A and B are shown apart, each in its own frame.
Chain A
Amino acid sequence: MDQLKKELKEALIQALNLEDITAEEIVDEDPLFGDGLGLDSIDALEIILILERNYGIRLTKPEESKEIFYSINTLADFIGKNRKK
């Protein structure tokens, strides 16, 4: 699980171009959107691509992904349960 979280953080930093942030600085339970890491609806689309490209998970409705995308913890949990690769 920890390996998955680390992998996820690195994928986020790369895909979302979070230039001033390191993987260590992203706290597992902090919100990714809004006040936390400050991600927005465009980032949600990029995260959907990470899920499909890296883990074979297909999501089609960004607006229904809010709970899954809440934090690194919720995202890793969802990937752990649904990953196809």
Chain B
Amino acid sequence: MNKYSVYIQSLASIYPQDEAVEGRFSACEPDYKEWIKDAGLRRRMSRIVKMGVTAALQCLQNISEKPEAIITATGLGCLADSEKFLQSIGSHHEELLSPTPFIQSTFNTIGGQIALLLGNKAYNTTYVHRAFSFESALIDGLMQLQAGDAGSLLVGSVDELTPTAYHILARMGVWRKFPAGEGASFFLLGNQKMERTIARIVAVDMVSGDFSQDQLAEKRLNFLQKNNASDAAVVSDDMFKPICGEYQTASSFGLWYACTQLNGAGFVLIANSFLHNHTMVLIEKFKG
């Protein structure tokens, strides 16, 4: 069924570039006005929407081809807008509520706004499944490119850290291993190797369950052997989460990190774990 290989043609990430403050990383955000020129569209966008849309636009900068699908991922979606609307229900006693935060609270807001800004009428969907969100989006994109149903498409993820989410998840003990984080990373994938091609995506795997470190190591080994890449360099979340922090779609930053911050060509395995979700993305880098 796989007529084509899948390549990463371009990528962009908005991620934390400073140290964590009080256990929290904040993404280093660009001047959004420079990227989202349409003030009419920008004015209603909350922070997560601007962050996601801008990372997508940065990824497509200087790219002539039009994505034939826009596939986004988010673990918790537009939290600030969801909370704003929840709060207004309580404080306004269900009367005279502003509809804007409700509209913007839907999980596919970022994908929809990217389509609107680009005037892109192609396939558009959003995956929301904990730390499988980004890998689900990748699998969808991979299938379309491998079958030749699309020649190039955009896959990306975004999550925002709000004070409330930080606080509630801290009470649950989610930030024990890494500080809380956030960010947006987008990838233009295609099925033709080009001059600018950064890497080939070899395989993606998702496993759920409560595994020991040894069990996970064994799963990684099996995955690499199955894909004839036993010599792959491993980028584990111990390497990239001290930079981007912990969040449901942090593995997309891991992929960006492996593509841009790691020296040398060859196979690289990006391995991520978040609670019961364990993912592996194997790439073959062409450029050091």
Contact = CB atoms under 8 A, between A and B. Distances in A.
B40 A38 contact: yes
Contacts of A46: 98-100
Interface in A22-67: 38, 42, 45-46, 49, 52-53
B93 interface: no
B98 A49 contact: yes
A62 to B, nearest CB: 10
> Chain B, interface size: which category?
10 to 19
Contacts of A52: 96
Interface residues of A, number: 13
Contacts of A15: 98
A46 B98 CA distance: 6
A19 interface: yes
B39 A20 contact: yes
B190 to A, nearest CB: 35
B96 A49 contact: yes
Contacts of A38: 40
Interface of A: 15-20, 38, 42, 45-46, 49, 52-53
Given A19-B39, A19-B43, A42-B99, 19 more contacts: A15-B98, A16-B43, A17-B43, A17-B44, A18-B43, A19-B42, A20-B39, A38-B40, A42-B44, A42-B100, A42-B103, A45-B99, A46-B98, A46-B99, A46-B100, A49-B96, A49-B98, A52-B96, A53-B96
